[in-house]
């Protein structure tokens, strides 16, 4: 047989094998997820959600059930690691998983496919910082962080800040929601404030509205004007999306009242209306 034909036949066969293994993996994953969601949600986990997640108390019953199912799958598929002397507990895992999965309510249950592990420190942690100052000179220092989202499958959080933000609902600040918004943004391989969604007029509306709102926040920050979003969102488009997502879930009524156009775009993307959970439908 001609070598060229042999090569292409082997390549095609290899492709079929890989595709078959992918389908098998998906089937086994679906079966395992089905078993997990059929199991009852532990009462202790429910107590943690009620005690630590302020937004959870506002969720409609059907959303609570969906969130509990997502949490069971999330905890099965993601690895939690304590750092800086932290001993991992159910409270830490359930609190983080609960807030992370709130971003996925009423959407495809993809559960952050690129994320493998969540590293948790007891409190804010310090990392080395190297900043170029010109002429080949670099300034070395340190930076204190509450959380980071890495594109290589890891997310880092400070437990003190996680718990504080989860309990202090309404100020628009939530480190878990912020960092997991970065995970959504990074799913297409780029951290640019445009998470993965289909092409078309709706994506163009998203780019138009969020681009304009980003420029407004930059101007607000430069002039010191009051804004519904944290000025940190003016850093770049990726941070704008993360900060806007924080406000959408942690200060939904304030965002809906102050910036309904931005709220509508986020409502379209996340496919939920958290302001209606807290204050009812708009008049």
Instruction: Give residue 190's pLDDT.
Output: 86
In DSSP notation, 9-58 reads HHHHHHHHHHHHHHHHHHHHHHHHHHHHHHSPPPHHHHHHHHHH-TGGGG
Q: Which residues pair with 125 in a beta bridge?
A: 145
| CA–CA distance, 172 with 247 (Å, rounded to integer) | 4
The dihedral over CA atoms of 213, 219, 223, 224, expressed in degrees to the nearest 10, equals 30
Instruction: Give residue 135's pLDDT.
Output: 64
pTM: 0.86
Domains, the chain, ranges and CATH? 23-189 (1.10.472.150), 192-283 (3.40.390.10)
Going by the DSSP 8-state scheme, the letter that residue 141 receives in this structure is E
Q: What is the pLDDT along the chain (283 residues), one digit of tens a residue?
A: 566 666 666 666 666 655 565 566 567 667 888 898 899 999 999 999 999 999 999 999 999 999 999 999 999 999 999 999 999 999 999 999 999 999 999 887 678 999 999 999 999 988 887 677 666 676 677 788 899 998 789 999 999 999 999 999 999 999 999 999 999 999 888 888 888 876 566 778 888 999 999 999 999 999 999 999 999 999 999 999 999 999 999 999 999 999 999 999 999 999 999 999 998 777 6
* Rg (alpha carbons) of the chain, rounded to whole number: 21
Instruction: Give residue 80's pLDDT.
Output: 98
Q: Number of C-alpha atoms within 13 angstroms, CB side, residue 281?
A: 1
Token duo for residue 224: 């010191």
Instruction: Give residue 56's pLDDT.
Output: 95
| CA–CA distance, 155 with 118 (Å, rounded to integer) | 5
Cβ contacts of residue 106 below 8 Å, gap of 6+?
A: 63, 66, 270, 271, 272
SS3 per residue for 72-140: HHHHHHCEEEECCCCCCCHHHHHHHHHHHHHCCCCCCCCCCCCCCEEEEECCCEEEEEEEEEECCEEEE
């Amino acid at each position: 047989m001609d070598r060229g034909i042999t090569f292409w036949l082997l390549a095609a066969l290899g492709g079929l094998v890989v595709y078959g293994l992918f389908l098998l993996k998906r089937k086994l994953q679906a079966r395992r997820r089905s078993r997990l969601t059929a199991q009852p949600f532990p009462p202790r986990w429910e107590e943690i959600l009620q005690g630590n997640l302020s937004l959870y108390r506002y969720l409609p019953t059907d959303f609570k059930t969906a969130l509990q199912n997502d949490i069971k799958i999330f905890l099965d598929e993601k690895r939690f690691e304590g750092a800086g002397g932290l001993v991992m507990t159910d409270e830490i895992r359930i609190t983080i998983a609960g807030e992370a999965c709130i971003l996925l309510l009423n959407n495809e249950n993809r559960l952050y496919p690129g994320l493998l592990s969540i590293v948790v420190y007891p409190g804010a942690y310090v990392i080395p910082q190297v900043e170029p100052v010109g002429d080949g000179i670099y300034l070395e220092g340190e930076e204190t962080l509450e959380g980071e989202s890495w594109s290589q499958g890891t997310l880092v959080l400070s437990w003190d800040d996680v718990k504080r933000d989860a309990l202090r609902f309404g100020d628009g600040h939530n480190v878990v929601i912020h960092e997991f918004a970065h995970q959504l943004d990074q799913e297409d391989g780029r951290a640019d404030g445009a998470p993965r969604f289909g092409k078309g007029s709706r994506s163009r509306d998203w780019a138009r509205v969020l681009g304009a709102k980003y420029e407004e926040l930059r101007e607000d920050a430069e002039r010191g004007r009051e804004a519904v979003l944290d000025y940190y969102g003016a850093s770049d488009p990726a941070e704008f999306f993360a900060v806007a997502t924080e406000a959408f879930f942690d200060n939904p009524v304030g965002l809906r009242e102050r910036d309904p156009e931005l709220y509508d775009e986020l409502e379209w993307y996340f496919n939920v209306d958290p302001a209606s959970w807290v204050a009812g439908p708009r008049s």
